[in-house]
Structure 1
Amino acid sequence: MSVTRKVQAMARMAVAVCALFSALGATPARAGEWVHGVYSNIWGTRSFQLWVPTGYQPGEPLPLVVGLHGCLQNPDQFAGLSRLNAKADAERFLVLYPNQAMYANGTQCWNFMFSSNQERGIGEPSLIVGMVDWVKGHYAVDSRRVYLGGVSAGAVMTSVLMACYSDVFTAGMVGAGAMYKAATTASGSLYAMTFGSIYSPDDRGYDAWACSGKARRKVPVLVVHGTSDDVVNPVNGQQAARQFLQTNDYGDDGSNNNSVSNTPARTTSGVSAGGRKYTVRDYVSNGVLLVQHIEIQGMGHAWPGGDGAFPFADPAGPDGTTIMWDFFKQHSR
């Protein structure tokens, strides 16, 4: 074959390959860049941002982490605060950042306190899960490793999603948040954030298990809270840990029989490079770290180890993003 014919053949092959990727909807964005999108269903419309990490290769399934911002934040600010994109580049996973619309909440809080957002298949949780499905349809995602973490209002929405979509999310982090259905009204939410929920974590543990259809499935959850949080009372972190322990007690065998103990298997302590002392309580079931509760002494309403250039950062704290990812990567379907 002549050189000219070889070049022509290679050109035809390149065109065919590009056409195939286009037909499959699989043409990737350049590695290490933002992809912006909008998702709609009958419950509304929300924008989102997807971080495609350096080294992404079409066809190679990567883990997906969903990052939920707090009030008075957006995806860019939460990404900057947490440095989650840098971790994604280093560890090779995709990051989806749903964005709360200001027309839905003037302070961009997720509306976790309303019953329309506390059940499966409806409201804001359905929009976020729809975005996850969109990412799965356009990028190579390992469905066994889809994780979820948030701060403040995003953390409470994380509790909702971990409760009602335990088949979608493999593990989650509740940072400066509260348990599932800590409140069911706006006024109740204000009370819960100030004093703790009036509801029993054990009862809410059952409700969370029921929301996913009473699945025989464990729900690994990391809870992180500062002891000086004056926005979300630290008792909410304690309640969240207890609620998910109860959810897992039902999830392993369908019964409330303390098969998942609410007594920590071990309690350790440490000091961050910035001088923050912290306590770690590990709840282990059949050799698996199922719930981890970390209390950080003196930290307010913040993301630990966050970038001080952004609101809600506690640079003195331990690296919350590393703690979160280290917890997530222990778990796979």
Structure 2
Amino acid sequence: MNRSHGVVARIGALLFALFMLSAAPAHAGSWVHGSYTNLWGSRGFQLWVPSGYQPGQALPLVVGLHGCLQNPDQFAGLTRLNQKADAEKFLVLYPNQATTSNATQCWNFMLATNQERGLGEPSIIVGMVNLVKSHYAVDSRRVYVGGVSAGAVMTSILLACYSDVFTAGMVGAGAMYKAATTASGSAYAMSFGSIYDPDDRGRDAWACSGKPRRSVPVLVVHGTDDSVVNPINGEQTVRQFLQTNDYGDDGVDNDSVPYAATHVWSGAVPGGRAYTVKDYVYGGRLLVQQYELHGMDHAWPGGDDSYLFADPSGPDGTSIMWDFFKQHSR
């Protein structure tokens, strides 16, 4: 296929995706299926339109990123995110990783083309966000992203490189921005933690969005007994985003956002897991919050145990995520 035919095919695919989205009925409490294509590829997605949705009434948008061996239906079922969306009135966009791009449906967070602004899978996900905005009433001040495992690492990339798009995010059982830059490095980071300095990656993350003076609020949730992604990755993610916010405050690495929790507290689910929470507040805003789930393996806390990666004995991770998100508006 020559270049002109390739461009025509891509445009045709995009127009077809637009037709699918615009033609789909926007019934309350319903799924809308579509796809998005740009120069970096094509991915399908599912959009949950909550019950009570009224065209023209701008709602928050949450982007939910599934982990490996998952798809949008499974991630929605695991997290019960659609039920939360119905109760709180927000839209949920679920991008779907193609098996042709990764046989286990992991997001390819370790590839260099997926770690920079305007490239790769992150650009496709942001394209989906813009596509949804063009067909539904979305409050651009309240666009959030959260994921688990590989979806959580992709969340770190999106928060780093598109801080002008995403107001806040959740990294669940994931890792920091550019924790690994190769497949072998990814395996090492998941087992032992990243070899890279979180402070250096904090500056890289700040630079990826074009060095904006903008805060990047993030919720980090990780089990202390995670056998897939070493819990040190959660610590590194906290450190990286504190450093990113230090630069985002005034453009200088001067510890204006200190690496010291302003409040530490504990809780427990009756008959279930205990957890420790560390809050990092700066300028009256909760910029970083860390949940350490004692004894939890690689899982979504409080998830539906009929799905993979659920830990029903933990606190409700979806409620924790939404409670964090709704504190933040651009």
Instruction: Give the structure-1-normalised TM-score.
Output: 0.92
Question: Is the Cα–Cα contact under 8 Å of residues 24 and 32 in structure 2 kept in the other structure?
Answer: no
Structure 1 counterpart of 2:125, one-letter code: I
Give 1:281-320 correspondences, 5 Å limit.
281-320=278-317
Question: Is the Cα–Cα contact under 8 Å of residues 58 and 140 in structure 1 kept in the other structure?
Answer: yes
2:136 matched residue in structure 1: 139
Runs of 4+ aligned residues of structure 1 deviating over 6 Å after TM superposition are none
1:275 matched residue in structure 2: 272
Quote how far apart the aligned CAs of 1:288 are.
0.5
1:191 matched residue in structure 2: 188
Structure 1 counterpart of 2:188, one-letter code: Y
Task: Please say if 1:204 is aligned against 2:204.
Answer: no
Deviations 1:271-295 (CA, angstroms, capped at 9, x unpaired): 0134201000000001110000110
Task: Please say if 1:72 is aligned against 2:69.
Answer: yes
Deviations 1:294-328 (CA, angstroms, capped at 9, x unpaired): 10000000000000000000000000000000000
Pick from 59, 63, 66 the counterpart of residue 60 of structure 2: 63
Q: Which runs of 5+ in 2 are unaligned?
A: 1-18
Task: Please say if 1:241 is aligned against 2:245.
Answer: no
Secondary structure, aligned partner of 1:169 = coil
Give 1:25-64 correspondences, 5 Å limit.
29-64=26-61
Question: Is the Cα–Cα contact under 8 Å of residues 26 and 139 in structure 1 kept in the other structure?
Answer: no
Question: Is the Cα–Cα contact under 8 Å of residues 149 and 172 in structure 1 kept in the other structure?
Answer: yes
How many Å separate the matches in 1 of 2:31 and 2:231? 34
How many Å separate the matches in 2 of 1:143 and 1:274? 40
How many Å separate the matches in 1 of 2:145 and 2:23? 24
Quote how far apart the aligned CAs of 1:261 are.
1.1
How many Å separate the matches in 2 of 1:211 and 1:273? 43
Give 1:28-177 correspondences, 5 Å limit.
29-177=26-174
Question: Is the Cα–Cα contact under 8 Å of residues 50 and 90 in structure 2 kept in the other structure?
Answer: yes
1:13 matched residue in structure 2: none
Structure 2 counterpart of 1:108, one-letter code: Q
How many Å separate the matches in 1 of 2:235 and 2:315? 19
Question: Is the Cα–Cα contact under 8 Å of residues 225 and 295 in structure 2 kept in the other structure?
Answer: yes
How many Å separate the matches in 1 of 2:275 and 2:327? 21
How many Å separate the matches in 1 of 2:279 and 2:197? 21
**Cα gap change, 1:43 to 1:35, in 2 (>3 Å):** same
Task: Please say if 1:182 is aligned against 2:185.
Answer: no
Quote how far apart the aligned CAs of 1:142 are.
0.1
Question: Is the Cα–Cα contact under 8 Å of residues 266 and 283 in structure 1 kept in the other structure?
Answer: yes
Deviations 1:53-75 (CA, angstroms, capped at 9, x unpaired): 00000000000000000000000
Structure 2 counterpart of 1:51, one-letter code: W
Question: Is the Cα–Cα contact under 8 Å of residues 69 and 151 in structure 1 kept in the other structure?
Answer: yes
Structure 2 counterpart of 1:298, one-letter code: G
Secondary structure, aligned partner of 1:204 = helix
Question: Is the Cα–Cα contact under 8 Å of residues 243 and 257 in structure 2 kept in the other structure?
Answer: yes
Secondary structure, aligned partner of 2:328 = coil
How many residues align? The count is 310
Secondary structure, aligned partner of 2:281 = strand
Question: Is the Cα–Cα contact under 8 Å of residues 278 and 295 in structure 1 kept in the other structure?
Answer: yes
Question: Is the Cα–Cα contact under 8 Å of residues 28 and 139 in structure 1 kept in the other structure?
Answer: no
How many Å separate the matches in 2 of 1:53 and 1:89? 5
Q: Which runs of 5+ in 1 are unaligned?
A: 1-21
How many Å separate the matches in 1 of 2:271 and 2:208? 40
Structure 2 counterpart of 1:173, one-letter code: M
Question: Is the Cα–Cα contact under 8 Å of residues 111 and 183 in structure 2 kept in the other structure?
Answer: yes
Structure 2 counterpart of 1:267, one-letter code: V
